[in-house]
Amino acid sequence: MNELDDQLRQLVERYMTAYFVLFKNLNTQMAEVIQEDATIEQYQIIAYIATHENGTSTELAEVFSVGKSSITAIITRLVDKGLIERTRDVQDRRVVYLSLTEHGRMIYSKMQESIIDMMSSYMIHFTKEDIDGFIQPFEKMAKLVEEGNRSK
């Protein structure tokens, strides 16, 4: 193994250590601040629908890389809670669009504010430049992973 490979291995190990600590704890804290309204999975679905109005279950299954039956179960629970509504396409009744109800938009807004408050309590310890310096490469990594664009 050459020196560059060893340095890369060390960087990956540092990243993975920080990733596990950060996301394990943040996910737990996020679950606590939204727990009365939704689970983390449900929140992610609600957030996606809030920003992609009239999506479909098939689209959600693709975006979240889960089976359509799993998405259908989550959607059904959210419909039962009055957070999401299903609307059939007038041209093709097989297509069902998903959108937030008024109550769903209110709950989403409340959850967003809770998460922003929680995250802000950590981010105040950094400058805007520090935050940008973290988020930009993180977004780049997310884009590469999403596109499956990795070096072989």
Taking the domain 3-147, which CATH number applies?
A: 1.10.10.10
Residue matched to tokens 């069902």: 96
> Residue 87 has what pLDDT?
93
Q: What's the CA angle centered on 51, arms 43 and 95, to 5 degrees?
A: 90
Treating both helix axes as pointing N-terminal to C-terminal, what angle do 102-123 and 3-34 enclose, rounded to 10 degrees? Answer: 130
List the chain domain ranges.
Answer: 3-147
Each of the 152 residues of the chain gets a pLDDT tens digit; together they read 678 788 989 999 999 999 999 889 988 888 888 877 788 899 999 999 999 988 899 999 999 889 999 999 999 999 999 999 999 988 888 889 999 999 999 999 999 999 999 999 999 999 999 999 999 998 998 888 888 877 75
